[in-house]
Amino acid sequence: MGNSKLGKFILLGALLGGAAALLDRATRNSVMGTSKKAANEISYYAKNPDTLKQKLADQKDKFQAAYEQLSGDVSYIKEQVEELKALTPQVKELVTDTKETFVDSKEEYETIMKDSPAATS
């Protein structure tokens, strides 16, 4: 395992691919601009660590608030699903009873209509 060349060749391929990509002027300018911006930000935060701490604390608070909101929403949805599971058999029974009532009523109406004098005339 110590003689594996896979890692070396992957690294070499990445370096060659990166060098080939830098032959394009637009890519080179983009990489330089991004690198300069990153270097400036690192320099700024190195000189102003309190600003970085405050920014990180703000981000942490935002993520924590989002997590709490999401947790509350998930809990609410779970409660609603459990309530729906409990109500489903009751609703099914109610629908079945209603259907049976209408079927019985239909038969009674048909009997009444057959027996009525207006139906025979």
Asked if the structure places residue 20 within a domain, the reply is: yes
Nearest to 83 by CA among 71, 94, 75: 75
**pTM above the 0.85 mark?**
no
Tens of pLDDT, residue by residue over 89-99, are 888 888 888 88
Cα–Cα distance for residue pair 22/29, rounded to 1 Å: 9
Tens of pLDDT, residue by residue over 8-37, are 999 999 999 999 999 999 999 999 999 999
Asked if the structure places residue 99 within a domain, the reply is: no
Number of domains in the chain: 1
Cα–Cα distance for residue pair 97/85, rounded to 1 Å: 19
Asked if the structure places residue 101 within a domain, the reply is: no
Does the pLDDT of residue 49 top 90, yes or no? yes
**Which stretches of 1-121 are DSSP H helices?**
6-21, 25-47, 49-115, 117-120
The residue segments making up the domain with residue 28 are 7-47
